């Protein structure tokens, strides 16, 4: 019997979208087989995890009927707290019992701009093997499609929601981009996409290259990469129901 492993299972990037590409077009066969073979899961959201496993089941049989799988949600911080207090040993119990354990987020790679890093760290501390399975990452795919510097980039997560604080932070990040020639990357809640785009067009210099990718890996996938000046001259409306990634690189000098 092989040693138990924590398997990081990527989810497709179509979370929340009505039209999706077939699952076997966006996740490799190796990842689908690994997901189908697992009996124990730690997930960001149990409902969406079951929905994904139903899509897997349509392609290949699961190790157990869906209702019999062990699916535990990652703890969420109470209001007013940045992080929950977690007994990681409880979540790692399947590994201690000799079973592989899957980690799944709602979209993309778990523990990359998604919850789960604490579980991965706990597995390493406990001496368990951790295996990342291949799949989509919105950050990497957006950078690749942007034409910006893929050798040096930084992902900031979300910008401040306060307009003044957001504008100040965007200008600080642009200065960092100019100094280091480093691509800056942001994500936003879909309904705030238009507001973030307008803030970028207001706060960044005209010569800065700005790229927006939305609905990655889906039939509606779209990327535009232009200077801020060109964006201002030819505005583009962003939908408020599709996830988007925003990347920019300031001109040097």
Can you list the domains of the chain with their CATH numbers? 5-132 (3.40.1010.10), 138-249 (3.30.950.10)
Residue 81 has pLDDT above 60, yes or no: no
Calculate the average pLDDT of the chain: 92
Residue 82 has pLDDT above 80, yes or no: no
Once rounded to an integer, what is the mean pLDDT over residues 179-198?
Answer: 95
pLDDT bin (cut points 50, 70, 90) of residue 253 is low
pLDDT for the residue 90 = 92
**Whole-number Å distance between alpha carbons of 141 and 124:** 28
**Whole-number Å distance between alpha carbons of 108 and 114:** 8
Once rounded to an integer, what is the mean pLDDT over residues 130-159?
Answer: 94
* 218 to 12, 21, 55, 99, 215: CA distances (angstroms): 9, 5, 15, 34, 6
**Whole-number Å distance between alpha carbons of 15 and 77:** 22
Residue 20 has pLDDT above 80, yes or no: no
Cβ pair 188, 158 in contact under 8 A? yes
Once rounded to an integer, what is the mean pLDDT over residues 176-183?
Answer: 96
Once rounded to an integer, what is the mean pLDDT over residues 201-219?
Answer: 94
**Whole-number Å distance between alpha carbons of 187 and 193:** 9
pLDDT digits (tens, 9 = 90+) for 91-124: 999 999 999 999 999 989 999 888 899 999 999 9
Residue 17 has pLDDT above 90, yes or no: no
pLDDT for the residue 78 = 57
pLDDT digits (tens, 9 = 90+) for 59-79: 999 999 999 999 999 987 655
Determine the 3-state secondary structure of 177 from DSSP. helix
């Amino acid at each position: 019997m092989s040693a138990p492993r924590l398997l990081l299972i990527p989810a497709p990037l179509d979370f929340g979208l009505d039209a999706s590409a077939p699952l076997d077009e966006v996740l490799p066969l190796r990842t689908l087989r690994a997901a189908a073979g697992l009996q124990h899961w730690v997930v960001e959201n149990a409902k969406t995890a079951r929905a994904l496993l139903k899509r897997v089941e349509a392609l290949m049989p699961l190790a157990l009927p869906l209702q019999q799988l062990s699916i535990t949600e990652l703890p969420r911080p109470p209001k007013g707290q940045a992080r929950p207090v977690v007994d990681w040993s409880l979540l790692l119990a399947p590994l201690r019992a000799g079973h592989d354990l899957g980690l799944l987020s709602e979209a993309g790679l778990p523990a990359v701009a998604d919850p789960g890093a604490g579980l991965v760290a706990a597995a390493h501390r406990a001496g368990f093997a951790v295996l990342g399975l291949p799949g989509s990452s919105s950050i990497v795919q957006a950078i690749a499609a942007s034409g910006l510097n893929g050798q040096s980039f930084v992902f900031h997560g979300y910008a401040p929601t306060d307009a003044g604080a957001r504008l100040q932070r965007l200008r600080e990040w642009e200065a960092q981009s100019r100094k280091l020639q480093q691509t800056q990357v942001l994500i936003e809640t879909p309904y705030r996409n238009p507001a973030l785009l307008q803030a970028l067009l207001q706060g960044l210099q005209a010569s800065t290259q700005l790229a927006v990718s939305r609905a990655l890996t889906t039939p509606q996938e779209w990327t535009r990469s232009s200077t801020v000046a060109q964006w201002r001259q030819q505005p583009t409306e962003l939908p408020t129901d599709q996830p988007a990634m925003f990347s920019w690189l300031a001109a040097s000098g």
